[in-house]
């Protein structure tokens, strides 16, 4: 059986690194991504030593940069003739409001716009590689979004760090649902997940001392959705602890889904 090729964003630390390690041990050809080349090189060597295989491919990109996301997609499209799984794992939590160079609040840009853009750019390759899977790491934080202040997007002049994070993860879920509808019948499935409150650099920075599970435990549902035959063909679902659960009612509002999709489409200048 041909080993799957799996790209995991944000895989030089935390849940992403644990996901890459587990998938590599299970025989996948993992492609890792990070912002820091030295850190990425260290993870490459670590994974090669653990698995006894050649060093995994490494991509360096700052996901807050539209240009760098595009460049990363171009690298994947030029290096690989297939991509079996894309795991949108990278994320940030910004305690203070920061903007990207194109005027978008940083949390929204990295956590939502970047996976939206990368997935859209890699979709033709994923369609060529069917059956293929798109897995996006969301969060139960989305449940705290009970309305969307559309006038506050995309710069979020009225900034609340937790609200910005919750909204970005909410948007990841609506993106998954829309994507699943648009890829129905193509052989591409799209699902998202809550990894659990996990002991990562992000959590320690945002909420130091908060009780949490290990990155290995936090990676379990991502690994499950990436390769388990139990979920082959399942699409447009939200998972927690490897089980399908229902996300908040507002995430199922088609008008909200469409508006967030169209906003991202416009900001990323896709259409």
**Torsion region of 40: left, alpha or beta (phi above 0 gives left; psi -120 to 50 gives alpha):** alpha
Instruction: Say how far apart CA 176 and CA 237 lie, in whole Å.
Output: 8
Instruction: Say how far apart CA 226 and CA 4 lie, in whole Å.
Output: 10
Beta bridge mates, 197: none
Q: Please confirm, yes or no, whether 165 is among the known catalytic residues.
A: yes
- Helix %, strand %, coil % for the chain, to 5? 50, 15, 35
Alpha helices (H) in 37-154, listed in sequence order? 37-51, 66-79, 106-108, 114-128
Token reading at 259: 């508006």
Instruction: Kindly tell me the sign of the dihedral angle through the C-alpha atoms of 203, 207, 208, 212.
Output: negative
170-176-215 Cα angle (round to 5): 70
Residues 6+ apart with CB under 8 A from 171: 108, 111, 112, 260, 264
Q: Which of 93, 112, 165, 238 is catalytic?
A: 165
Positions annotated as catalytic residues are: 165
């Amino acid at each position: 059986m041909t080993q799957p090729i799996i790209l995991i964003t944000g895989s030089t630390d935390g849940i992403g690194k644990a996901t890459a390690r587990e998938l590599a041990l299970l025989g996948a050809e993992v492609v890792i991504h990070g912002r820091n080349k030295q850190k990425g090189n260290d993870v490459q060597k670590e994974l090669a030593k653990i698995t006894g295989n050649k060093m995994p491919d490494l991509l360096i990109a700052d996901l807050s940069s539209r240009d760098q996301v595009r460049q990363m997609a171009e690298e994947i499209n030029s290096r690989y003739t297939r991509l079996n799984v894309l795991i949108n794992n990278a994320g940030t939590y910004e305690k203070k409001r920061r903007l990207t160079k194109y005027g978008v609040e940083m949390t929204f840009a990295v956590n939502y716009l970047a996976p939206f853009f990368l997935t859209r750019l890699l979709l033709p390759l994923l369609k060529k590689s069917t059956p293929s899977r798109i897995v996006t790491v969301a969060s139960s934080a989305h449940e705290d979004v009970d309305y969307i202040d559309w006038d506050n997007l995309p710069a979020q002049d009225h900034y609340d760090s937790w609200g910005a994070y919750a909204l970005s993860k909410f948007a990841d879920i609506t993106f998954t649902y829309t994507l699943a509808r648009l890829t129905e019948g193509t052989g591409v499935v799209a699902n998202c997940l809550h990894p659990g409150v996990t002991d990562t650099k992000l959590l320690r920075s945002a909420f130091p001392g908060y009780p949490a599970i290990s990155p290995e435990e936090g990676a379990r549902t991502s690994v499950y959705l990436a390769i388990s035959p139990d979920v082959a063909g399942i699409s447009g679902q939200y998972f927690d602890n490897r089980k399908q659960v229902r996300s908040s009612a507002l995430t199922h509002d088609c008008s909200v889904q469409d508006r967030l999709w169209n906003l991202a489409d416009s900001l990323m200048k896709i259409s």
